[in-house]
Structure 1
Amino acid sequence: MDNSLIASHLRLQRGQRWLIDDVSLMLACGELVALIGPNGAGKSTLLRLLTGYLSAEQGECWLAGQSLTQWPARALSRRRAVMLQQTQLRFDWPVEAIVAMGRAPWGALHEAEIVREVMALTGCDDLARRHYATLSGGEQQRVQLARSLAQLWNNGAPEGWLFLDEPTSALDLYHQQQLLRLLKKLIVSGKLHVCIVLHDLNLAALWADRVLLLNNGKLVAQGTPRQVIQTDVITQWYGAEVEVRSHPGSDTPHVFLCS
């Protein structure tokens, strides 16, 4: 079965402005795709359209050949998980209970075992007894990643589509590296497919298989990091003076701001 996610001619308007303007794309299985672009480009809005959190005014999204609008909510929740940029909770539960929320689409089957496994995998096991509201922003992001992976956990591994909106924004360098290494490791199995919004172009260049560049709601460039993250492309769409060279430890591009 083809598990690709396809978007066709998506458009979404707010007031007189098109937040997303005629975007078509395909997300293939077993890859990490990074959505990049300047502030207000439409990255978070597009992610919400691709996950079914928002409905497009025009166009449609299909997952595994079926329109997102036709997926039963429980079945869709077992196939795709979303980690939003900010998750506000009205209750102050222990971290372990927050991660367990991800198992809601599956019922109680093996819940405690899966929660423990996912928390160990994401380095959250030392936070298990703490309350969510007492955590730092970075610790909360790690917990939300664990919850999202728990939602997709099936037969010993996460399976399906994971959408992440700026999951590294509050993380220190060590945890940024660990998060992206973990995602790449899980993707290798071929069962997990990741779409991630990133502001840090160097993280996108180093870890993404494909990069999609948005500007003013339009998809203006896409391809491998080396095809998209180029001096003229970044200067044109970000308006910043940059120089792109090769990463010293790999063949990936690396962006330097000009002084």
Structure 2
Amino acid sequence: MDNVLTAEHLRLTLGQRQLIDDVSLTLNYGEMVALIGPNGAGKSTLLRLLTGFLVPSQGQCYLAGKPLSQWTSTALSRSRAMMLQQTLLRFDWPVEEIVAMGRAPWGPKRMCDIVHEIMMLTGCETLFGRRYSTLSGGEQQRAQLARSLAQLWHNGAPEGWLFLDEPTSALDLYHQQHLLRLLKTLTAGRALHVCVVLHDLNLAALWADRILLLHKGKLVAQGAPQQVLQAEAIAKWYGAEVCVAAHPGSKTPHVFLSP
């Protein structure tokens, strides 16, 4: 039970709009789940419900068998972290201090050592001493990933639930590969779950153990990449004409836009 986060019949209504419509799912330690869907499908909104930052109009989220609403803020902050698409800061701190913000739920013990270890792990060591405002969009994303991992760092590794909203959107090819390889490796330790919103279906196919497909607030498909990423399903839910073939270096599906 400790290794499961469940959502039961989540709904979120804003005025006359149904943003999330009867979504139920289970997330387990040791897996990397990609959340996909067209623009406006409700992906970011669902992340905020799963993390407790939004309260559903109906339904409930449970972590370790207990509703998120019954967790204290400190205990929940030690168990789950979320990286937003964009994080606007009102202060211009050095990158290492931004990363150290993730340690707030834990107190100052060994903070410097942990921050240094995580910056090395995430490839942020070259950003040490630089002001956050001077970073490119991709560099800021890397710093925010490091901050999110710092929040979950316990006994030498991240433990808990990490939610990422389009963390590769501003990254070049090398850093996309590095980030997703790192997340895959960390989840293999079986003490971390990663749920990541991705627009690039091919990245989702390569790295995710499971894919959840949202459309207009509904969970319309889920399963292994081979089950979800089929040409007919993509045409139905995205309205795009595509071809799907096997990736040349693996058995995962690869999506090509039709000319």
Name the SS of the counterpart of 2:220 in structure 1.
strand
TM-score by length of 1: 0.99
5+ residue gaps, structure 1, are: none
Name the SS of the counterpart of 1:22 in structure 2.
strand
Name the SS of the counterpart of 1:177 in structure 2.
helix
The answer to whether the aligner puts 1:120 opposite 2:116 as a matched pair is: no
By how many angstroms is 1:2 displaced? 2.8
Do the aligned partners of 1:161 and 1:192 also contact (CA within 8 Å) in 2? yes
Instruction: Report which stretch shifted further, 186-195 or 112-121.
Output: 186-195
Do the aligned partners of 1:3 and 1:65 also contact (CA within 8 Å) in 2? no
By how many angstroms is 1:14 displaced? 1.4
Partners of 1:27 and 1:158 in 2: CA distance = 17
2:200 corresponds in structure 1 to 200
AA partner of residue 170 (structure 2):
A
2:139 corresponds in structure 1 to 139
Q: Could you give the per-residue CA deviations for residues 52-94 of structure 1, whole angstroms, max 9, x where no partner exists? A: 0100000000001110000000000000010011101000000
2:163 corresponds in structure 1 to 163
1:242 corresponds in structure 2 to 242
AA partner of residue 176 (structure 1):
Q
By how many angstroms is 1:192 displaced? 1.0
1:13 corresponds in structure 2 to 13
2:28 corresponds in structure 1 to 28
Q: Could you give the per-residue CA deviations for residues 195-220 of structure 1, whole angstroms, max 9, x where no partner exists? A: 00000000000000000000000000
Partners of 2:32 and 2:184 in 1: CA distance = 7
AA partner of residue 206 (structure 1):
L
1:176 corresponds in structure 2 to 176
| Moved segments of 4+, more than 2 Å | none
5+ residue gaps, structure 2, are: none
1:188 corresponds in structure 2 to 188
AA partner of residue 46 (structure 1):
L
> What percent identity do the matched residue pairs reach?
74
Alignment of 1:41-52 (within 5 A): 41-52=41-52
By how many angstroms is 1:16 displaced? 1.2
TM-score by length of 2: 0.99
